[in-house]
Amino acid sequence: MKHFLLIFLINVICIEIKANVTSSEELQNKDEPTKLLSRRKRFLIFPDGSSFQIVFCTQNHGYLQLGNIVWFGTTAALAWELPTDPGAFDMFKDLKAYQGQRRQDILYYVDEDGKIVDKVEYKRKILINPALAKRSVDAAERNKRNITKFNIKEMHKLQKNKMLFENLDATRIEHHRTERQEIYAKLEKFLQTLGLDGKECILKMLCVTGKQRSKQASFVAEILRAVFTLPKVPDTMSKVHKHYHDAPGSNGDCSELYPKCEAISME
């Protein structure tokens, strides 16, 4: 029993001594300077001409006294050029003339040492805002008449009586006819699946639209009027879609001419 207690005390003393030595070494290491780890700088390289853009768009609508809707949109955009060559930043350290300045539409080419070897004028690409692009229908009509100043009432009066396809050339008219004829064929199949006579309903819509050209209707009716307004080209008219051409010029009541379609109405 005495030998066991003696061995136990010796182990406790050894553990205590080892702990004191470890703590003293840690205190000594605190006074010594730490080893610095270093590595080369890393860069993100983007394709030439890359930029980071933030675009903020807002859109508001209002109602005029004449019953029309006006949409007003504003757009604010900011762009920051992204680095394309990490060596290009070295020239700002040696040349004070470039400090605090932006590129100003000039591309600088530098060598491995960061020295400028050449500079080329940067030409920005022409960007066209789709909201400001001119439509073919409006552009063709604008070339046929002189733009004069008039008030809002006169403007809407002209808009109600405007013939969209009156001054278009044959190529553009044929394009509008082809696109609409394809839509009519698809709408016929869609209405057929709803249990209606698709062909009869499409012809009725064309007939009603042809008789209400100068009458201003509701917002939905104006959309339907634009879709079911078919340009007339008698000389190049397709025999397959001849019934589409004849419907807008039909004489008589459209409901009596196409009695199989009672669910379609422009009102």
Alpha carbon distance 264, 267 (integer Å): 9
Average pLDDT over the chain, rounded to an integer: 67
Contact 34, 122 (CB under 8 A): no
Q: In this predicted model, what pLDDT tens digit does every residue of 97-109 receive, in sequence order?
A: 444 444 456 777 7
What are the DSSP calls for the chain, one per residue? -HHHHHHHHHHHHHHHHHHHHHHHHHHHHHHSPPPPP----------TT-EEEEEEEEEEEEE-TTS-EEEEEEEEEEEEEPPS-GGGGGHHHH-GGGTT----SEEEEE-TTS-EEEEEE--PPP---GGGPPPHHHHHHHHHS------HHHHHHHHHT--TTSS--HHHHHHHHHHHHHHHHHHHHHHHHTTS-HHHHHHHHHHHHHH-SSS---HHHHHHHHHT-----STT--STTHHHHHSTT--S-HHHHSTT--S----
Statement: residue 23 has pLDDT above 50: no
Locus of tokens 């459209």: 254
pLDDT of residue 74: 81
Contact 77, 118 (CB under 8 A): no
Statement: residue 46 has pLDDT above 70: yes
Contact 77, 56 (CB under 8 A): yes
- For residue 84, name the pLDDT band (cuts at 50, 70, 90): confident
Structure tokens at 206: 């064309």
**Lowest-pLDDT range, 138-147, 172-181, 226-235?**
138-147
- For residue 63, name the pLDDT band (cuts at 50, 70, 90): low
- For residue 48, name the pLDDT band (cuts at 50, 70, 90): confident
Report the share of the chain in percent with pLDDT over 70. 45
154-169 mean pLDDT: 63
Statement: residue 31 has pLDDT above 60: no
Domain segments of the chain: what residues? Answer: 51-132, 136-257
